Structure 1
């Protein structure tokens, strides 16, 4: 048996609670004795006699100690409810209101276009025109119903959160330790089951395309409806929360899960670090790494410079081991070497590859380049290279990620100073490509260096030379473009989204050994 003394603790909020004399309760097993001890292992109040029976060797504490701890838990969970959950779901409700107004405005404009076009040949095509109008009415009705249903669910969640907030306020003043313990346990279960993931807004709608009134075909005279995605009403914001200064010249890659891994762009440093109040190095290796990926178990995969052997560092270990070696071609040609990596669909790894010893700055047309999907047991599942017409899908797959639908999103380097972002289905069909004619600065080409996909399937792109973020929606349409200078960030070069939903951003320098690592909060995407 281990018994904890009633030490003066300072758990969150508990120290501010007015101390009251607690009501006493009798033991159900020993009715003449008060419940004066709390068994941590069984999570219940017991009496001194109970200790000699089924609670031997258990860890215990007195009632005052557990009372203080449970009040601290209640204060902590109440803080989460009032300062995080309620504001979050209130904002979600507001976003739905705004997108509904956007749909109403859009549908109104489209209906006016249809009505104006209908006026020109009303007698011949009234029936079909009315059908098109009804389509928008139905579409708006469907959207309205969806918004109403989702708002109703949000209101229920908000109502439950507020009720639990009131329950906590009431129970904090109670002298009934059993009620306090039960309520604290209930709130632990309740808060752990609160899901604050943001569901995508209903952005899908139709666009009316006017027909050619010179043709004799009625369907083309009336026009047709084309699927579009309305602009997201949410404003995209970035905010720097923390900045760390390293002794590196540039952070060419960052992966942040339980721990954070970084590698230099030009040097030969691979480093495992811990990010808290200060940056704390945990492990380092001198090795030229092209890219890094990490799986759900914490195993780290490494693409080594000009090396066909894909490496792995198992979670909890510091030894770099072989994982998979890209095979020799059957006839002519060179082995493929991995240059970009991404952990895909929980049990696969995507590797962007080029022929060994190829000059990545000026890839010759005859140099083979592929995107290879490997299984956990090191089997090649699929290889992407060309489309159905034999046209090459990409020039140089520099970075790879994916969205919630399993579509592959990759950064395709077109030259040493330009690139594009491409979304491709698992069948190898290009869905969209983003390649603005100019970068964010006059006279500069669009030169992306890393990409991440958010929980809403929006894409964040960083441009190192142009000091910019580009944010695209799930259809590859631009949502915003922001200069990072306004955030105090220069040369953004690598990104990842950590388990807390924060953007971890690695930067370059002008040849100094002071590359920065930033933690950013982002909203609206």
Structure 2
């Protein structure tokens, strides 16, 4: 048949191969015309032929033969032995299936068929598309890795060229010093040689004078000759030049490597929870791209919540679209109803110190950092559990990632270092501290403030108050960009970043304390707009699943809910 037109061909009888198919044998799976039915029935009388209309084919089940009674069909199923059986197996008093749970085989087959159909649909609709996304993600990571390693090699090559130029300068300088020393010593020796040559000329003249005097027979002239040989017996000093020596520095591989520059260690972490299955349900974490939302022409304040802190409100974190956690300049963390603005409950930090930052995990538990006693804690079922305790570092900003990890930014002002650490539970999985040139990614200082969040594309965003910048790295910790503000700013002050969060569009939002506003930048660091809405000293930020922005205002201790996306 022609594959392009086979769908239009009429099906023929399998026996005569000429007449149009009208019947079907479900036992033998043969297509028949009416005339050939009788011939087929007597072709093999050992079989129980089930001939039906062609449209009703496969309507008659083909029961398997019983393994214990070969002439009988198995119409039942022993659930305990997990095998098909026939009625004789059940009726036999001495049979091994006595007392076992037995079902009709069609029921078992239908259950399995439904399971297979469900699994097939899951494979087609969910699992396979998820693996397609994973393959695409890995390919993208490989491409990005190729580019970033290429950039790293270029940086090393450029640094090597810089070293070559400096070495060439040093070689030129040393050779110039050698030439200068040589010329000085040659000039001195030349002067010495000139003096010796003059003395030799004087000696020759003296010799000639004595010879003339001794060749005469005039005694008066001979007595008048005076010999000056004694004056030449005092020989000149011997000048022995001392050559400078070149003492090459030892080329010690390890020390040279440290002087030239070193590579930080690379890592390839494996996280079995790193991917999530695609789903057909609508949720903020769905694998498909979120609907595109445009910025409102004018952001609007939806509601204001008075938190009642006396000395300052620092942080806000969304528990749900109806509830928010807050923390301020005391040890109490408060849960508020957004719609009613009422206090629902509160919990007190175990140490009695005020929390530095708060976050909510995927499971809805509250996490807080305590920089005074150097701990990260989680509140579960009204009980506080210490998850992480640090020795020489202070935990500052914290966020819960899409994979369930914790990202903690911490500093050690004694060592003047700052780093981001990823934790799975209390296990350290990744450290992010320096860029590909070996320079610190983040500023350091005793009174610096840092906040941290993860974007939808798994990039890690840090607000670095000491550097007046937002620092964004990819999942591997490679620097993507630094955002240092946009001019003109509302109060013409430098960017003073505090709280940081991201929305469904992968935009990054950071609170600007000194300019009384929030900056919105896209995932590539391009400025989009300011949000002010009468804000006063904005500090903490968070966003709910509907992209409503919550701003914790430090001095007046109010939280504003702001709509800024359509």
What is the TM-score normalised by the length of structure 2?
A: 0.45
Normalized against structure 1, the TM-score is what? 0.48
Richer in strand (by share): 1
Of the two, which has the highest radius of gyration? Answer: 2
